[in-house]
Amino acid sequence: MGLFEGKKGLILGVANDRSIAWAIAQEIMNQGGLCGFTHLPDRPDDERKKSHRRVFKCIDGWDNARFLVPMNVSSDDDIAAVMTTAKEEFGTIDFVLHSMAFASLDDLKCPTIQCSREGFKMAMEISAYSLLAVANAAQGIMNDPSSILAMTYFGGEKIVPGYNMMGICKAALEAAVRYAAYDLGLKGIRVNALSAGPLKTLAASAVGSKGMEAMYEHIAPLGRNITHQEVGRTGAFLLSEMSNGMTAEIMHVDAGYNSMGSPGRMLDLLPDA
């Protein structure tokens, strides 16, 4: 019997088959869980419907994937429509994976202090506030116990050059996780975040993560980087009843990198003084 046998939930934020959200969703479905998926709304002039097609390509052939609908997380009406679909399909749900963040490239590429006011507001709304909006809309159909999981990154805790404004958004997201965990705790709804090391994803390419994987290999205690499968298993654990005693936590899956206070073994690569 799989860990998610009889469990149902939402996967919000798969972009393509390299997404961390997809790695988590696969683990859930392999363990018997039923999932409803959302995708970014396609532009009216996009005849190829690229956003829909990318996610559909992932879930095609999976009986456990029960629906795929568009969602603009900046729209309360869109969020409500997704919850209505979930209620019609599942009745109640046991988990929600929130894996959504966005900032314009112009605001990401410039020094953090030069990001635009409008760009900052948009990035914060999509990357941080959206967790609160989703949690509020989902609480009425979530079981006791159930779990919400958000995706974050170490750049929300420490300065990571190149991550820039998104680091501020992730810091806000992590605070939102803790406060949502308090608000929903008495209903048996847990809220946690998973902080993954660098992986080859669309999001990583947007924030200029070139060279980060190699750096982690030299600095992290395990002497290597992580895999999509490792993050997928940990994400599934946090969404399962195996982690029922955990809430308001930020769990790192980064081969121990976040614990280092010096470059560690990377110092061996420097020339002798």
Element (DSSP H or E) covering residue 96:
strand 93-98
Q: How far apart are CA 255 and CA 273, in angstroms?
A: 29
Q: How far apart are CA 39 and CA 59, in angstroms?
A: 12
Q: Tally Cβ neighbours within 10 Å of residue 62.
A: 15
Q: How far apart are CA 256 and CA 253, in angstroms?
A: 7
129, 153, 216, 257: which is the annotated catalytic residue? Answer: 153
**Annotated catalytic residue 216:** no
163, 179, 182, 216: which is the annotated catalytic residue? Answer: 163
Query: Chain-centre distance of CA 177, in angstroms?
Result: 12
Closest CA to 193 of 229, 239, 162, 155: 239
Element (DSSP H or E) covering residue 18:
none
Return the amino acid letter for 201. T
Query: Chain-centre distance of CA 123, in angstroms?
Result: 15
CA distances from 209 to 162, 175, 204 (A): 7, 24, 6
Whether 27 and 233 have beta carbons less than 8 Å apart is answered as yes
Report the catalytic residues: 153, 163
